[in-house]
Structure 1
C-alpha cells in the first residue's frame, strides 16, 4: 500500500517531453498506488477552465482514466494554477483540496500544501498572493476575454521572472518559523510540500520532538515524487 505525492510538473505545450513523462508516470507508478496527491503547479499557467488548449483535455482524460482504474487523485492549487476550477476537476475526476490538508497515512499524521505560503520572507510575493487570491479579483479576471487573459498572464510571468532574478535565493525558500508554526498548528510530525524546487527531507525541531519536512522537486529534467507507505517516506527521482 502506497500513496504518491507530486508537485511542480509545470505542464505546457512548449515542453512535450515533460508531458510525455507525466503521462507515463500516470500509466505506470501512479496506477499502482492507493492514491495520488498533486500539490500544485500541475500546469505552468492556468487562465481559466475555458481555455481550450488540447493539452488540458489530454491531461484531464489521463487523470480521469487513472480514477477509473481505482486510483483517486487529489489536488491542491499552486501559485501557477490557482485558478484551476471545478470544471476541470469534474472532467478529470480530481478532488480539489484546501490549501492545507491534514492526512493520516500508515500511522503518520502529516500536513500537505503547495508551499508558497511558507515563504514569508518574500514579502512582495506574499502581498501579491493575497491580492490575486481575493474572490472578486479572480472573478473579474475570469470575466475578461480569453486573449486578454493570455496577454496578462504572459506579462505577469515575465515580471515574476525578472523580479525573482533580483532576489536572494534564501528569500525564496521557506521560513523555518513558518514551517514549525504550521506543523504545530495542525499537530503533525510530517509536512510534504513543493514550490521551492529544492527536493530533500529535512528534520524539524518541534519543541522536544523531531518532525520531518519532505520537499518535492520540480519536473525539469526528471520526475520527482514522494512515496509514503507503512515502511517509510521516500523521495524518488526518475527519468521521463
Structure 2
C-alpha cells in the first residue's frame, strides 16, 4: 500500500481539464491508497465556505466519495485557499491539519507542509501572509457580503500577479537555511511540500545527517504526486 500527496491543483471553472483530471485521480489511483494528503492550493481562490460556486460542491462530493470508500483525506491550507473552513471540511469529509505536521509513515518520520513559509527571502510576501493570517482580519473579511469579498479577492490577485512578474525567481523559492532549520526543529530527515511549482527531489544535510526535500509540482499540464511506501518516496508526474 501507499500514501499519496498532492498540492497546487488551483482548481477553477476556467480550467476544466484540471478538474476532470483530479476527478479521475480520485476515482482511480487514490482509491488504492492508505490515505490522501492535499498540501494546499487545491483551489485557485477561496473567499468563504458560503460561496455557492458549483465547482466547490462537485469537488466536495468527489472527495467524500473517496473518504466513504475507506481512504481518509487530509488537508493543509495553501496561500490561495487558507480560508477554507470547517463547513467545507464537513461536506467533503476532509480532515484539516495544522500548517506543519509530522507523520509516521511505514517507519519514516515525514514532515508535510504547503511550503510558502519556507520562502523567507520574499520579505514582502511574508509580511502580507502574516497580515492575512490574523484571525480578527479573517473574521472581518468573512463577515462581508459575498460580492464585496469577490471584488477584494480579484484586486488582491491582480496585485499579486503584478508583483510576481518583477520579482527575481530565486526570491520566490525556498530559503535553504529555513529548510534545514525546519527539519531540525521537527527532528526529521524527510520533508514534502508544494507551493513553488518546482517539482524535484533535493538532498541536503539536517540534524547532522543526510536529508531529503520532496517538492510537488503544480497541476498545469499534467498531474503530480508523491507516493510514499515502505520501500521508497517517489515523485511521480502523470497525464490527466
TM-score (norm 1): 0.99
Distance 1:195 1:71 in 2: 24
Tell me how large the CA RMSD over aligned residues is: 0.5
CA deviation after TM superposition for structure 1 residue 231, in Å: 1.4
Secondary structure of 1:52 counterpart: coil
TM-score of the superposed pair, with normalisation by structure 2: 0.99
How far off is 1:140 after superposition? 0.4
Partners of 1:154 and 1:7 lie apart in 2 by: 22
2-structure distance, mates of 1:68, 1:208? 42
Equivalent in the alignment of 1:26: 26
Alpha-carbon distance between aligned partners in 2 of 1:102 and 1:212, rounded to the nearest angstrom: 14
2:210 & 2:170 partners in 1: Cα distance?
Answer: 23
| Residue of structure 1 equivalent to 2:155 | 155
1:49-84 residue CA offsets vs partner (Å, 9 max, x unmatched): 000000000000000000000000000000000000
Counterparts of 1:1-20 in structure 2, within 5 Å, are 1-20=1-20
Gaps of 5+ in 1: none
Q: 2 CA distance for matches of 1:207 and 1:20?
A: 42
Within-5 A mapping of 1:192-211: 192-211=192-211
* Aligned pairs (5 A) from 1:14-163: 14-163=14-163
Match of 1:177 in 2: 177
Cα distance in 1 for partners of 2:232, 2:207 equals 23
Task: Please list every run of 5 or more consecutive structure 2 residues that lacks an aligned counterpart in the other structure.
Answer: none
SS state at 1:219 partner: coil
Asked if 1:225 is matched to 2:225, the reply is yes
Instruction: Specify the SS of the correspondent of 2:36.
Output: strand
**Matched residue, 2:237:** 237
Q: Secondary structure at the match of 1:205?
A: strand
2:186 maps to 186
Aligned partner of residue 43 in structure 2, secondary structure = coil
Structure 2 contact 192–213 (Cα < 8 Å) conserved: yes
The separation in 2 between residues aligned to 1:181 and 1:206, in whole angstroms, is 8
**Alignment check: 8 A CA contact 2:187 2:207 kept:** no
Q: Is the 8 A contact 2:190 2:212 kept in 1?
A: yes
Distance 1:120 1:180 in 2: 13
Distance in 2 between residues matched to 1:46 and 1:199, nearest whole Å: 24
What is the match of residue 168 of structure 2? Answer: 168
| Range 121-130 or range 202-211, more displaced | 202-211
